[in-house]
């Protein structure tokens, strides 16, 4: 095995336990796997296992697609992508900071409208 392949393989292994993914993965899976479980015992174990497999597959495919696409761009000669990464990281960080501040200010940030969240919370007794 060449040094470049060994390095890429090692980087791929480490990417799954990066600080961001290591902390967010359990919450992400908990959200999607427990989203429809309002009452304990309603969902069968086979349904839970199927949902877990589907969510894991989509998450793994998405994670891989980002890195494969970026690698293909760089290997195709688009080296400017490498110089844009730090600026892109700063822009993403600024956007996430703005979203965090908006949430601290009481705004609803998400894909579900705030009115639906309020109705669902009231129906669940919360």
Q: Which two tokens stand for residue 31?
A: 């959200």
pLDDT, tens digit, for every residue of 3-62? 888 887 887 777 767 766 666 667 676 776 665 555 555 667 777 778 778 887 887 888
Does pLDDT of 126 surpass 50? no
- Give mean pLDDT, residues 108-124: 59
pLDDT, tens digit, for every residue of 60-108? 888 788 888 878 887 887 777 778 888 988 999 999 999 889 989 988 8
Per residue, the 3-state secondary structure of 70-105, as one string, reads HHHHHHCCCCHHHHHHHHHHHHHHHHHHHHHHHHHC
How many CA atoms, within 13 angstroms, populate the side-chain half-sphere of residue 4? Answer: 0
Interatomic CA distance for residues 99 and 105, integer angstroms: 10
Which H or E run contains 117?
Answer: helix 114-123
pLDDT of residue 101: 92
pLDDT of residue 90: 93
pLDDT of residue 58: 83
pLDDT of residue 115: 56
Interatomic CA distance for residues 64 and 8, integer angstroms: 13
């Amino acid at each position: 095995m060449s040094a470049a392949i060994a390095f890429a393989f090692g980087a791929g292994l480490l990417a799954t336990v990066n600080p961001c993914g290591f902390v967010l993965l359990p919450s992400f899976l908990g959200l999607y796997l427990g989203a429809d479980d309002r009452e304990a015992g309603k969902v069968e174990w086979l349904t839970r296992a199927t949902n877990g497999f589907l969510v894991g597959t989509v998450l793994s495919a998405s994670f891989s697609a980002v890195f494969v696409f970026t690698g293909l761009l760089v290997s195709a000669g688009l080296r400017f992508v490498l110089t844009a990464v730090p600026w892109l990281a700063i822009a993403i960080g600024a956007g996430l900071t703005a979203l965090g501040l908006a949430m601290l200010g009481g705004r609803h940030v998400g894909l579900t409208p705030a009115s639906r969240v309020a109705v669902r919370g009231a129906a669940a007794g919360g």
